[in-house]
Amino acid sequence: MELHTLKAHELQDKLRKKEVSATEIAQSFLKRIDAVEDKVQAFITRTPEAALAQARRVDEKIARGERLAPLAGLPGVLKDNICVKGTKTTCGSRILENFVPPYDATVAARLAGQDAVILGKTNLDEFAMGSSTENSAFFTSRNPWDLSAVPGGSSGGSGAAVSAAMALWGLGSDTGGSVRLPAAFCGIVGLKPTYGRVSRYGLVAYGSSLDQIGPLTRDVRDCALVMGAIAGHDPLDSTSVEAPVPDYTKALVPDLKGMKIGIPKEYFVAGLDPAVEKAIQGAIEQLRSLGAECREVSMPHTEYALAAYYLIATSEASSNLARYDGVGYGHRGQGNDIVAMYKRTRTEGFGEEARRRIMLGTYALSSGYYDAYYLKALKVRTLIRQDFDKAFDQVDVLVAPISPTTAFKIGEKVEDPLAMYLQDVCTVPINLAGVPAISLPCGFSGGLPVGLQIIGRPLGEEALLRAAYAFEQANDYHRRLAPVGEV
């Protein structure tokens, strides 16, 4: 069997038993990238020389008999809005096309401390603004299950790379579903941690009160491994939570006896594809057969979440993206005076969707409209958080769809921003509430994966992983390779 078809924990075991070297693993993945990247188009920047150099360092540690960190020698990718010192970080935007950070994001530094092998930086919707990667300034990544379909967004490059067996794991950022949606569309596992559980230092900001870095992996055990490597308090991030990081792998047990699962009725609404709903309902029955007690719960403010999210996120984007003015770094346009230079820089540097969200946010924050839009959205956010609090008084986790549909065709929704925004209807409430959620495959429709969403209380990642692992072990979805990944 080709090494790139194995899971991270399987290769970790082989490394420790000296059945394979880290260099051999890296070479296998680099060969795989050469074979399928032209079809999938997941990478903005590849770093093969650095990957092989890191792999050789791991082999030297093995030769000296040193103990290996959990991710040592295991190749992965980073979404291209996560800063890596000396490596181009574009955010999928022309305005940062040639930007090279002078520092590492905290997650990048933690991965380096684990001796993880980084294969490159992956494609995304510009500044993480999108659900399909079609908003990237450079190219659209493709779904390994159907090359004519989107891989989801905004972390579509990382999702596609992991799904196509070009990487064992990937990191993405999730502002309104941007880790979970690619995971669902690409048939892999994606975790959006509790807000503050993973440091945002070095993550280029889109919506600062919503953004959270999370792992994309091929199965739940790999997700637990990566989560353990990147989680934890960081003094460089003022929103970082001071709480001990558990060994997430200890939560992986194959039954759910005693677990109470809530089914929020508001997530099963008109517009949900019947085949998707059938797969989700089948998953709920399977969770019940594994010992869980399932009951319906109500979260009455869910219907307002999408509107509140797109006011809060765009307002924060307007503020965060104001720093790109052509003065300090990034693209600089030409103009006869500073105002003309600002205008030319931002017109040339930002794509259509980024400009749309900046303008929406600027309007919502403007004098005379702040109370009517942004402040009201913040009040709705509080109501949504209270819905979650009340639900978790009754149950341990919630189960819902990730998206109303499976992956759609490239170009199908790009001219209709509202239809694109509706893809996030089941994911944005989680970001507004700051709670964790995981996506994992629970079936197929028309040959495309369907994603199951399990939602937890704050810092409840262990319960999510337990439920996800039990469901995964009762199925074989995580063992299937996408068609472009067949060997």
Among 79, 121, 192, 413, the active-site one is 79
- 445 is an active site residue: no
Which of 227, 22, 3, 206 lies closest to 116 in space, CA to CA?
Answer: 22
Strand (E) positions, 29-168? 43-46, 75-79, 117-122
Q: Strands of 293-297's sheet, edge to edge?
A: 43-46, 117-122, 75-79, 169-173, 213-217, 189-192, 437-445, 448-456, 397-401, 260-264, 293-297
**Secondary structure (3-state) at 266:** helix
Show Cβ contacts of residue 54 under 8 Å, excluding neighbours closer than 6 positions: 22, 26, 115, 116, 117, 118
Residue bearing tokens 């969403």? 453
State the Cα–Cα distance between residues 417 and 357, nearest whole angstrom. 11
State the Cα–Cα distance between residues 361 and 455, nearest whole angstrom. 28
Among 178, 199, 315, 403, the active-site one is 178
Provide the 8-state DSSP code for 238: T
- 85 is an active site residue: no
User: Are 71 and 8 spatial neighbours (Cβ–Cβ below 8 Å)?
Assistant: yes
Q: Kindly provide the b/e burial profile for residues 123-150, where b requires at least 16 CB atoms within 10 angstroms of the residue's own CB.
A: bbbbbbbbbbbbbbbbebbbbbbbbebb
State the Cα–Cα distance between residues 11 and 15, nearest whole angstrom. 6
**Secondary structure (3-state) at 316:** helix
Q: Kindly provide the b/e burial profile for residues 387-407, where b requires at least 16 CB atoms within 10 angstroms of the residue's own CB.
A: bbeebbeebbbbbbbbbbbbb
Q: What is the token pair recorded at 433? A: 């509430």
Q: What is the DSSP string of 13-47?
A: HHHHTTSS-HHHHHHHHHHHHHHHHHHH--EEEE-
- 154 is an active site residue: yes
Separation of first and last alpha carbons in the chain:
9
State the Cα–Cα distance between residues 388 and 264, nearest whole angstrom. 10
Among 154, 163, 240, 318, the active-site one is 154
State the Cα–Cα distance between residues 162 and 216, nearest whole angstrom. 7
Phi first, then psi, for residue 38 (nearest 5°) are -60, -30
Active site residues: 79, 154, 178
